[in-house]
Amino acid sequence: MNTRRTLAASAGAAAVLGPAAYLLFFRRWCLNWGARPDEVSVKLPGDELLPDTGLVTTRAITINAPAGAIWPWLAQMGSGRGGAYSYDWIENLLGLNMHSAGEILTEYQDIKVGDELPMGGDAQSMRVEVADPPRHLAVRSADHNWTWIFALRPEGESTRLISRNRIATKALAPANRLFYLLFMEPGSLLMERKMLLGIKQRAEHGEYGTGE
């Protein structure tokens, strides 16, 4: 009986302390991985598309390549296109048909406002709202509840790639907001960190070889 009580108490403590630790110590790092304070606060083209949002993530990475060598990898993203340069096997478990390209696909480079980027499966397509090569790309979901913005900022011979997600979570039920907080936020970091590193490797080394 004592063992059962101890296990129950431990489980209860973990259920309380785990979320508390995330909120206190890890959430800011999770939402702003790699980004500098000025990059988190800067206004980017496309921010105005979803001004009243419940969740904003700003993540960034330094790429040792000019913006013009990075833009083509952004332009071709999407299901059935260049993929997302993340964990294809995870995305394909969800039926998204993502296959990260290892080369620049010329047929997808003429990206412009109004184009639809498929996200795969039952996921909504993303409409291109800002296309300013090789500086800014912003896309928005069909229900207008999600925007994804990319900014390329030259720094000498390198470039900072900034990725910002704005998601409308205020209308969600409390249980769904809690799920977003504890599972979707860390999960998005896992996938987006891999994506940023994947773009970095491809841009720095030219054509990447075979796709993942």
State pLDDT tens for residues 121-145: 887 899 999 999 999 999 999 999 9
Q: Name the residue with higher pLDDT: 199 or 6.
A: 199
Nearest-angstrom CA–CA distance, 101 and 98: 9
pLDDT at 79 over 60: yes
CB 126 within 8 A of CB 106: no
Q: What is the CA radius of gyration of the chain?
A: 19
Q: What is the mean pLDDT of the chain?
A: 86
pLDDT at 8 over 60: no
Report the side by side order of strands in the sheet with 158-167: 55-63, 158-167, 146-155, 136-141, 126-132, 116-117
For the chain, the structural domain boundaries read 1-31, 34-204
Bridge partner list, 147: 140, 166
- Indicate the CATH number of 34-204 among 3.30.530.20, 3.50.50.100, 3.30.70.1290, 1.10.540.10: 3.30.530.20
State pLDDT tens for residues 150-174: 999 999 999 999 999 999 987 777 7
Confidence of residue 182 (pLDDT cuts 50, 70, 90): confident
